[in-house]
Amino acid sequence: MKTQIYLCNTGLFLSLVLLAGCGGASSGSVAPPPVASPSQTTLASSVNPVVINQPTTLSATVEAVGTGTAGTGSVLFYDGTAAIGGCTLASGTCSYAATMTVVGQHTLTAVYGGNTNLATSTSNTVNETADAIPTAGYTAIVDPGTQYQTMEGWGVTLSWWANQVGGWSDPARSQFVDKLFAAPPNGLGLTYARYNIGGGDCPTCKSLSVATAVPGYEATAGTYNWTVDGNQRWVAQRAYQDGAVFFEAQSNSPPWWMTISGSSTGGVGGADNLSSTYQGTDANSFPSYLVTVADHFNQDFGITFREIDPFNEPDGTGWTDGNTQEGCAFSLPQQETVIQNTNTLLNGAGSITRIAANDDNSIGDAQTAITTFSPTTLGDMDEVNTHNYGSSSKSGTLSTAASTAGKRMVMSEWGSAEATGEDLSSHLVTGINNLHAVDWAVWQPDWPPLFKVTYSNQAISPVATEVYYVYANYTEFIRPGDIILSINDANSVAAYNAKTNTLTLVTYNWTSNDASVTYNLSRFNSVGTSATVYRTSSTENLASIGSVSLTGTSLVYTAKAGSVTTLVIPSAIYSPSVQPEIPATLNAAQGSSYTVPFNGTQARIYGSMGPSQSIIAYSVDGGAETDVDLYAATSSSDVLVYATPTLSSGAHVLKVRVTGLKNSQATVFTGQPNQVEIVN
C-alpha cells in the first residue's frame, strides 16, 4: 500500500492525515489540496496614546485580496515578538482588549492564521504609545480681564552666524534664513532681528575667529567703507523679505581705534574701553558712528532700525583685551553720556531711530542700570533691553521699572547648550509672563541649538532639532498683535487674538510623569467646543495630534511627560477687551493729525504696511512721540503697528500725526490706520 501524507491547514493548527487527502476520503486517485488565496489583515487601536494599565481595543479586519471576501478563522495580536492575545473572526472582524503595562513605544501587529481558502497574513504596524499614570492634576485660571503686553514677536541676533551663512551660495543660505524668518509653517515666523554694527579689530590683532570678526564700517577715522559686512547684511535683507519688521542695531564694541586698549576685544584687565575722546557728538565719535551707519541703512540699504543699542553686557570686567569676540565695558555714567549724545545726533539728523539700552547680562544688572539712570537718560530711551543669563527672580521688578518709565520691555538675548528645549521653554515663559517682554529673542540658531549646523561648510545640511520645534510651539501660534493674559500657572502662557477671537495656550511638562491640567476659561463670555493640539517631545516635532473637547468652559488636558504642547481654542469671546472700530481719516500733508479720546489702559493701532506707506508718529496724553516706519516691500493690512504703554485706567488721548518723512524705498507719503482697539 502506498502512503500519502498531507499537511492540512485547519485554522491555527496543521494536521497529519494518512491515506486520505485533506478534507476527503481516499480514492484510487488522490486530489492535491486547494490553493489558498492571498489575504489582507488591517489593525487599528481605539486609544493611542494610552495610559499604562488602561485598556485599548485592538481591532483586526481580514479579507481576501481582490474580492474583499470576509475571512474566517483566528487572529493573534503581537507586541513586538510577544503574543498578547487573540480573537476569532466573525464577518471578517474581531477585537481584543489589550493593556500596556510598560511606559514607552509598543509595536503592535495582528497575524491571521489563514484557512482552507485564505492564506495567512500580517497586518500593518500600529505604534502604540503608553504614557505614565498622570500626576495629581491642578487647575489654571485664564483671566482675559487682566491683560498684559501686546506681543510684537520673536527674534534672533544676527551675529555671528549671519557673518558666515550670508557667504553661503543659494539656495542653501536662503533656505536657512527662511527656516527662521519665513511665515509659519515654512519657518518660525521671527519678526525681530538684531543687526551687529561691528567695531572691526586692529589690523595686527589676531584673536577674533572667522565668525566673530565682524568688520566695522569705519576702519579708520573718517573713512567709511559701505561694501564690508556683506554677508550679515544679505541675511538682514533676506529676513526683511521674509517678514521681519523690527530691526535693531546693536554694538558689541566701538571701532578699535576709539578704544583705550587699541582693540575691539576689550579693555586691559576688563576696564572700560571707550576713550573719552570719542564719546561726544563730533563727527569721529562713537555716537556719530552708530547714527551714521543707521542713516546709511535707511537711505541706501532699505532697512530702518527701530532702535540702536550702543552696548552689549557693558557691566563687569569680562571684556578683556585679546578676547575671542568683540566686547566693551562701560561704566553707568559713561553709558548715560553715550545714550544722551547718541539721542542728540539722532534728533539732529531727523532720524526716526530711537535708543534701546542697556543689554545687560542679567535682569538684575539691567534693573540696577534702569533705576540708576537719570530722568534725562531715561527720556532719551525708547526701550529697555536685557539679556536673561541670571536674576530671573527680578523680572517683575524690572518690568515695573520699565513700565513706570513708559518704556517698551524687550528680552533681547538668551541662549544655552541644553538640547531638549526645557531650558528654552522655562526662560521664555518667565520672559513673557514675568518680564512682560513684547519681543523675546534667542542668541544664535545653534545656541540654543535650534539647528545642528556647521557654519563653515554649507554642504553639511542643517538639521532642525527638538529645540527648534519647541520654539515653534510658541512662535507659530503666538503672533504679533496677540495679547498676553493672566494665567496662574508657572508652566503655561496664555495669548489672546481679539481680532480672530482665538485663545492660545502653550504649556510645558518636563517632569518624568504625565500631568493633568484643567484650564478654567469661565471668565470668557464663551469659548469654542474643542482645542486643536500640537505637541513637541523627543518623538514628536510640533505634531498635530487631533483635538480635545471642552466641557462648557473647562478644558482638561494631560500634558505628556517631557513635552511642550500648544492648545488653540477658537470662538473665545471676551467682549470688554475691544471697543468697536473707530473711523479715522488722515491726509498726506506734513503735520496732518487726528486724536482719539479713549477710556482704558491701552490703545493698539492696526494699519497697513507696504511700498506706499510712510513714517507716522504716535503719542499718548501729550507725551513723547514714537515714529513708526510703515514701509514694506509687499503690502499687508491689519498689522499691529503701534501699541501704547500700559496706562492707568481712565481717560486718555491718542494722537496720530504725519511726519512728512518716509523710507528711501517708499513711493508716497501715506499711512492710514485701519482700526484702533482699546483695552479696558
On whether residue 534 sits in a domain, the answer given is: no
Instruction: Please indicate, yes or no, whether residues 582 and 440 belong to a single structural domain of this protein.
Output: no
Could you say which of 131, 165, 198 is where a domain stops? Answer: 131
- Count of the separate structural domains present in the chain: 3
* Digit-coded pLDDT (tens) for 98-150: 988 887 889 999 999 999 999 999 999 998 888 766 556 789 999 998 899 99
**According to the model, what pLDDT value does residue 73 have?**
95
Instruction: Please indicate, yes or no, whether residues 168 and 214 belong to a single structural domain of this protein.
Output: yes
On whether residue 491 sits in a domain, the answer given is: no
**Which residue, among 261, 249, 259, 272, has the nearest Cα to 198 in the 3D structure?**
249
Phi and psi for 459 in degrees, rounded to 5? -70, -20
**According to the model, what pLDDT value does residue 21 have?**
42
* DSSP 8-state class, residue 631: B
On whether residue 17 sits in a domain, the answer given is: no
On whether residue 338 sits in a domain, the answer given is: yes
Range of the domain at 449: 152-477
Instruction: Please indicate, yes or no, whether residues 65 and 179 belong to a single structural domain of this protein.
Output: no
Q: What is the DSSP string of 502-535?
A: EEEEEEEE-SSS-EEEEEE-TTSSB--SEEEEEE
Q: Exposed, middle or buried: residue 480 (CB in 10 Å: 0-12, 13-18, 19+)?
A: buried
On whether residue 143 sits in a domain, the answer given is: no
| Beta strands 383-387 and 408-413, pairing class | parallel
Instruction: Please indicate, yes or no, whether residues 161 and 127 belong to a single structural domain of this protein.
Output: no
On whether residue 622 sits in a domain, the answer given is: yes
Q: What is the spatial distance between Cα 199 and Cα 216, in angstroms, rounded to a whole number? A: 5
3-state secondary structure of 1: coil
Domain containing 374 — which CATH number?
3.20.20.80
On whether residue 24 sits in a domain, the answer given is: no
**Which residue, among 332, 333, 351, has the nearest Cα to 342 in the 3D structure?**
351
**According to the model, what pLDDT value does residue 635 have?**
78
**Which residue, among 382, 450, 445, has the nearest Cα to 419 in the 3D structure?**
450
On whether residue 21 sits in a domain, the answer given is: no
Domain containing 671 — which CATH number?
2.60.120.260
Q: Cβ atoms within 10 A of the Cβ of 133, count? A: 11
Instruction: Please indicate, yes or no, whether residues 64 and 179 belong to a single structural domain of this protein.
Output: no
Give Cβ neighbours of residue 396 (< 8 Å, ≥ 6 apart).
434, 435
Q: Which residues of the chain have pLDDT under 50?
A: 1-29, 577-578, 580, 583
Q: What is the spatial distance between Cα 224 and Cα 278, in angstroms, rounded to a whole number? A: 16
**According to the model, what pLDDT value does residue 671 have?**
54
Instruction: Please indicate, yes or no, whether residues 186 and 74 belong to a single structural domain of this protein.
Output: no
